[in-house]
Amino acid sequence: MLHRTLLLIGYVVFPLLVTGQVALRSNHHRPIAQGEQHGIYEHVYRELTGMLEGRKKLDFKRAVFLSEQAWFDGQLDSTAFENRISRLVNLCRSVKESRTLLYDGEDKQKMATHAAIFSVLTDSIPMMLTDSSTAYHLPFLYDFDDVWGHQNWSQMFVVKLLETNAGNCHSMPLLYKLLAQELGTDAHLAYAPNHTYIKLQSKQFGWFNTELTSGAFPIDAWLMASGFVHLDAIRNRVYMHPLNEQQSLALILVDLAKGYEDRFGFNGGDFQLEVIQTALQYHPENVNALLLKAELLRKRYFNQIEANQAASVSSYLPAQATKDRFREMEQVYATIHRLGYRQMPEQMYLDWLVSLKTEKEKYQNKKITNLTKPRTP
């Protein structure tokens, strides 16, 4: 249950917040050559690798922006993005300062920050403006349309979430994490089948789950009861494991590879495979990376067969190449299965997602509340 708090913001003005419409894509789309488009992907990949290797400062917000920027051919308006983020960050700060979280642990400040981020993402917040009128910050909603980005890959993006105020289980946790970074605290992404969510650690509750799509704190049993979480996947830390900073960047690399494939198609698979390999280097159990790798190898394998049919049938080398490609692909599928991954049909996923709201009694962590009281100035 979330209280609505009236914020007294004397000095911060939120001119555009009422409509929530901020143009993040610049109005002029200048056409660029395919070579240049590919070049942008290369550049972003190098930036992210730099962060992973510690040569560049690890900035999750920048990593997210860059990976989306690549898909937009470098034409996202970074200033608008920064502005939107900093307005949200300021709002989180104001929300935190205007109230006291009813929580007794030693890490009260950290939990208050998280409570503020949670409120900003999932609740309406009335604010008093300088001219004494009231404006409302509206919560971000779940967009049930095209949840896997099959029609439009940018459905998965944080910029799309910011622009339309609606996102999905991919973009919303990313926004949470980058806001947490800006506010100087940590938040962990975690995987579940076809899903990402936020995991936090509190002195009072230990590890707990934050589900932004339905604004709740489900107990682990809900995530494990989806029916597609094999216990081995839990044992192997494939699902429900809080990702560290490098593993989070690996997640962004997977996004980059998928975005590239969406823009240019298979295209031989070299770039995607290189990106995925780097991701797996830092997160070997990243099942999404493994799935993408298996798919790429499978395409390569079938391409090889086609090439064989075109070439002479009697020569030995093509047959060996085919065998190798098959074995390579088989190994990845075997690893995926051994880790405990089981494929989940899309409709079942949506049913499961909704079940958290409909069966809140059963799955809500009753100890965690976002209860606050207004802070008296």
The site for another protein (CB under 8 A) is made up of 201, 203, 206-207, 219-221, 223-225, 231, 234-237, 239-241
Closest CB to another protein among residues 118, 191 = 191
Phi, psi of 180 (to 5 degrees): -60, -40
CB nearer another protein, residue 227 or residue 268 = 227
Task: Please provide residue 373's backbone torsions phi and psi, each rounded to the nearest 5 degrees.
Answer: -125, 150
Q: Where are the beta strands (DSSP E) in 36-178?
A: 99-101, 125-128, 134-137, 141-142, 166-167
The token duo for 359 is 């069966």
Nearer to another protein, 235 or 373 (CB): 235
Shortest distance, CB of residue 287 to another protein, whole angstroms? 15
Nearest distance in Å: CB 69, another protein: 34
C-beta of 208: minimal distance to another protein in Å?
9
Residue 220 has phi, psi (to 5 degrees) of: -55, -30
Contacts of 272 (CB under 8 A, 6+ apart): 257, 260, 261, 292, 296
Strand partners, 372: 101
292/269 Cα distance (integer angstroms): 11
Find the shortest distance in angstroms from Cβ 169 to another protein: 17
How many other C-beta atoms are found inside a 10 Å radius of the C-beta of residue 334? 11
Least distance in angstroms from the C-beta of 220 to another protein: 5
Whichever of 207 and 266 has its CB closer to another protein, that residue is 207
Owner of token pair 């400040």: 109
Please identify, using beta-carbon distances, which residue of 201 and 281 lies nearer to another protein: 201
Q: What is d(CA 111, CA 117) in angstroms, rounded to the nearest whole number? A: 10
Q: Are strands 141-142 and 166-167 parallel, antiparallel or unpaired?
A: parallel
CB nearer to another protein: give 204 or 322: 204
By beta-carbon proximity to another protein, the closer residue of 218 and 259 is 218
Residue identified by tokens 């981020």 is 117
Q: If you compute the radius of gyration of the chain from its CA atoms, what whole number of angstroms results? A: 23
Query: Which residue from 277, 266, 261 is spatially nearest to 306, judged by alpha carbons?
Result: 266
* CB 178 to another protein: min, Å: 24
Structure tokens at 72: 């937009």
Cβ nearer to another protein, comparing 97 with 232 = 232
Choice between 66 and 223, CB closer to another protein: 223
232/262 with CB nearer another protein: 232
Q: How far is the CB of 190 from another protein (least distance, A)?
A: 8
Amino acid identity of residue 286, one-letter, is N
CB of 246 to another protein, least distance (A): 18
CA distances in angstroms from 8 to 14, 265, 372, listed in the order given: 13, 51, 16
- Alpha-carbon distance of 153 to 161, in angstroms, equals 13
**DSSP 3-state of 7:** strand
108 vs 113: CA distance, rounded Å: 9
Secondary structure element (H or E) that encloses residue 63, with its range? helix 60-71
For the CB of residue 377, give the shortest distance to another protein in the complex, in Å: 30
CB of 344 to another protein, least distance (A): 16
